[in-house]
Structures are given as structure tokens and as C-alpha cells.
Amino acid sequence: MQKMQEIRESYLENNYVEFWIEGGIIIEIFKPEITRISLAMAKEIVADRLKINKGITMPLYIDLANVKAADKEAREYFAGEKSVQLVSASAFLLHSYVALILGKLFLSINKPKANIELFRTKAKAIKWLEHYKNLN
């Protein structure tokens, strides 16, 4: 019961994503209707994620669901200092091989300032993130 209470207390939702903390990992799930990310969306997503962190550095799991694209400015923002604040590592769950290829292209061009890996299964992503817990 305590675990469910902790998850509920750390839950936040905006127009684009749902966030919660589970087992010391921030879970960020994009809503199914979100297919493209703009700079304004990226800024709101990061601002809300920082509210969930409550000043504690944690790994971040991101399920991109139906996201097919992000504007150039949004990609640059996600790769910048503000976006990786209080994040020890990020694991992106991509739902298609095309998304995986585009994700690798993003990482090679924008070079985020954090440890980031791309995954096709949630289990592998969470297992990888376990190594980045409690790195304050």
C-alpha cells in the first residue's frame, strides 16, 4: 500500500505527458495523441519533470509512444543543460525500428549532455537505468 501511495504523490500530468516516480526512476509517458513535439511543449515537459524530481537527481524513462518527430528547436532544447538537470541517465523506449534509427540520428547530431540509450523494450530500459539510481 505504501508503494502505491508514493507513486500517487509523485504523479503529474500535463497536456503532453504523464509523470510519476517508481522505484527511484522517473517515468515519463507521452500521451497517444502526441505525434510531434514543439519547443513550447519541450519547455513545459522539462519544467513539469523538474517539479517531480523535487531537487533529487534520478534516472528518467521516457516512452515516446506515437511521437514521430520533434522540431529542431525542441531537439536542441532536449539536448541542452536545462533538460538534463537532475537526470542521471535517460532511457528512451521507441516503438518502431524507424524511430530507433531516427533516435540514433538525433543523438549523433544533437549530442545530449547526459547518458542516453535507446531501447525497444521497457524491461531492458529499466534494467539499464538501475545502474544510475542513487548517484547524488
Q: Please give the CATH superfamily to which domain 2-129 belongs.
A: STAS domain (3.30.750.24)
Q: What is the pLDDT of residues 120-133, one digit of tens each?
A: 899 999 999 999 98
Q: Where are the domains of the chain?
A: 2-129
Q: What is the pLDDT of residues 56-67, one digit of tens each?
A: 999 999 998 888
Question: For 99-108, what is the mean pLDDT?
Answer: 68
Question: Are the CB atoms for 43 and 77 separated by under 8 Å?
Answer: yes
pLDDT for 1: 44
Residue position matching grid coordinates 516512452: 63
pTM above 0.95, yes or no: no
Q: Where residue 40 falls among pLDDT bands split at 50, 70, 90? A: very high
Q: Give the separation between CA 45 and CA 60, rounded to whole angstroms.
A: 13
Q: Give residues with Cβ within 8 angstroms of 12, minimum separation 6.
A: 18, 19, 20, 48, 51, 52
